[in-house]
Amino acid sequence: MSFAAMMLVALALDLALGWPKAIYDRIGHPVTWLGALITLLERRWNTNRPLRRARGTGAAALVIGVAAFIGLALQLALPANGWGIALGGVLAWPLVAMRSMHDHVAAVLHPLQSGDLPAARHAVSMIVGRDPSKLDTAGVTRAALESLAENTSDGIVAPLFWGAILGLPGIAAYKAINTLDSMIGHKTARYLEFGWASARIDDVANLIPARLTGLVFALVSGRARASLHCMWRDARHHRSPNAGWPEAAMAGALAVRLSGPRAYGAEVTPEPWVNSGAPDPHQTDLHLGLRLYARSMGLLALALGGVALWTL
C-alpha cells in the first residue's frame, strides 16, 4: 500500500473541508483526545520531584505508544487496495492542519489590513505563546510569519513526512509527539523535568521535516539563493534546533527580519534576529508569506504525488 498516496488523500480532504465544526462539536479532534490523556497523566505523575524526569519519560512513551498502536491497528484493518488508501487517507485527514494554518494567519492579516491593531493582536494570540499586548504592527506581523513558518513544519510537513514513511502509525505517533511537546515540553519550573523527554523526542522527530520545510520555502520563493543563504547562516543561531530552519528560509525569501527579543508574560528573552540586516515585515509581507505558503503546499502535494506513483 502506498502511504504517500494515503497522505495525499488526507491533504486533499483537509484542503477541501478543513476539520468541520459540526464534526468537532460532535466528537472533538484527535489532538483534543491526546491532550486529555496527557493532562490526566501530567496531573497524576508530575508530583514527585526526584522522579519527575523518569515519570515524564514514561508518560511520553505511553502517549506515543497508544497513538502508534491505534494507528497500526487501524492500518492493519484496511484492505490492501485503492479502498485501503482512500480509507487510510480519511483516517489521517484530521492529523493534517494545512487549511487551519492558513485560516489562523489570514485572521491576523485581515485586521492588519483594516488598521485594527487590537483585533490583530487578539488573532495572533491564538497562534503564538508570547504576550501580544504590547506588539506594534511590525511585531504582530513578525509573530504571525514566524508561526506560519514553524507550524508549516510542525503541523503539515512533519506529519505528512512520517505518514508517508510509516503510514497511520507514523502520523499518529508524530501527532502525539508534537502534542506532548506543545503541552509539557516547556522550560518552566513545573515542566522542565517532567517534559524533558517530550521536548527531546520532538526535536528528533522534527529534525528532517524542519529542514525540508525550509528547502521547500526556498524553492518556491523566487529568491532561492537568498533564502537558502539566510537559512544556512542563521538557522543554527535560533533558540530552537528546528524552528530556525523554516523561519530563516522565510525571512530570506521575503527579505525581512524575524525572531529577535520577545516577551513571555513579564519576562523578555533576548533572542537573536534572523536575517538581522533586513527591515521589519509589513502587512504586505504577511500577504506574501501566505502566498509563499500556498505555493509550498502545491510543491508538497506534487512531491507526495510523485512518491505515490513510484510506490503504487
* Cα gap 287→64, rounded to integer Å: 36
The pTM score is 0.94
| Helical (H) or strand (E) element with 81 | none
* Cα gap 159→179, rounded to integer Å: 12
Percent of the chain surpassing pLDDT 70 = 98
In this structure, are residues 248 and 275 in contact, taking their beta carbons and an 8 Å threshold?
yes
Average confidence (pLDDT) over 79-86: 94
N-term to C-term CA, the chain: 7
Q: What tens digit of pLDDT does each residue of 22-67 get?
A: 999 999 999 999 999 999 999 999 987 788 999 999 999 999 999 9
Side-chain half-sphere of 208: how many Cα atoms within 13 Å? 8
Percent of the chain surpassing pLDDT 90 = 85
Mean per-residue pLDDT over the chain, rounded: 93
Count CB neighbours of 111 within 10 A.
Answer: 19
Q: How confident is the model at residue 258 (pLDDT cuts 50, 70, 90)?
A: very high
* Cα gap 47→34, rounded to integer Å: 21
Which pairs with CB-CB distance under 8 Å and at least 24 residues apart come from 127-131? 127/151, 129/264, 130/262, 130/263, 130/264, 131/263, 131/264, 131/265
Q: What tens digit of pLDDT does each residue of 267-281 get?
A: 667 788 999 989 999
In this structure, are residues 181 and 217 in contact, taking their beta carbons and an 8 Å threshold?
no
Helix (H, G, I), strand (E, B) or coil at 125: helix
* Cα gap 284→286, rounded to integer Å: 5
